[in-house]
């Protein structure tokens, strides 16, 4: 494995989420700078932003798989295997439901201004919402596993590996224009 591979892997997610895939607000900002968007333009922008999550997830997945294959990493080394997949899916869904429940409970206890407005994805259909989160979860977990494997093979400590991956993941979500974070 190349010495540059772990750092290229870390860069995939922040770069992918910073690609401007939503043309409506981009061109509005280009032409009108600081003027507020009219409601019809804002609605069109939100529709584009809902669907822009899919190309971002596709870019992350393709780049992760390309980097993994280029460095002779197998899919099983990245944590994907068909062995006991039912148990893994059940654990993943259970932990996801627990996280959503905790997030929902905390949002009811604390006041958060962002919680008072409907989320971008709450306005879309339920099937679209589920597909966005499934594709995003898969792409992000695949990215995390590549980063962890690559950093560990580069002889970094477990603490450095986990901390660096978590830090870059959080930076990517701070920059993320699609804002999947405020769904609940």
pLDDT in tens, 29-56: 788 877 888 888 888 887 777 777 788 8
Residue 63 inside a domain? The answer is: yes
Q: Is the pLDDT of residue 103 over 80?
A: no
Angle (CA) 122 96 120, round 5°: 15
Residue 181 inside a domain? The answer is: no
Residue 183 inside a domain? The answer is: no
Model confidence at 64, pLDDT cuts 50, 70, 90, reads very high
Taking all residues of the chain, what is their mean pLDDT, rounded to a whole number?
Answer: 80
Query: Distances from the Cα of 147 to the Cαs of 72, 171, 184, in angstroms?
Result: 14, 15, 28
Residue 180 inside a domain? The answer is: no
Phi and psi, residue 7, nearest 5°? -80, -30
Q: How many domains does the chain have?
A: 1
Scanning the structure block, which residue is given the tokens 């992000």?
140
Find the DSSP H helices in the chain.
Answer: 5-17, 23-32, 39-70, 85-109, 113-116, 126-153, 158-175
Alpha carbons within 13 A on the beta-carbon side of 116 = 4
Residue 36 inside a domain? The answer is: yes
Residue 86 inside a domain? The answer is: yes
Residue 88 inside a domain? The answer is: yes
- The string of pLDDT tens digits covering residues 127-146 is 777 788 888 888 998 999 99
Parent domain of 63 = 5-175
């Amino acid at each position: 494995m190349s010495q540059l591979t772990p750092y290229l892997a870390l860069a995939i997610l922040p770069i992918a989420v910073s690609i401007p895939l939503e043309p409506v607000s981009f061109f509005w900002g280009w032409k009108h700078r600081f003027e507020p968007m009219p409601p019809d333009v804002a609605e069109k922008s939100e529709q584009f932003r809902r669907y822009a999550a899919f190309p971002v997830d596709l870019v992350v997945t393709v780049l992760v798989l390309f980097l993994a294959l280029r460095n002779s990493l197998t899919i099983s080394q990245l944590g994907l295997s068909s062995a006991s997949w039912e148990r893994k899916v059940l654990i993943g869904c259970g932990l996801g439901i627990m996280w959503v429940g905790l997030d929902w409970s905390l949002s009811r206890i604390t006041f958060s201004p962002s919680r008072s407005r409907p989320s971008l994805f709450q306005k879309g259909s339920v099937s679209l919402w589920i597909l966005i989160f499934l594709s995003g979860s898969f792409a992000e977990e695949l990215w995390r596993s590549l980063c962890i494997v690559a950093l560990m093979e580069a002889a970094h400590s477990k603490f450095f590996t986990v901390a660096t991956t978590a830090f870059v993941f959080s930076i990517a979500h701070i920059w993320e224009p699609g804002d999947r974070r405020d769904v609940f």
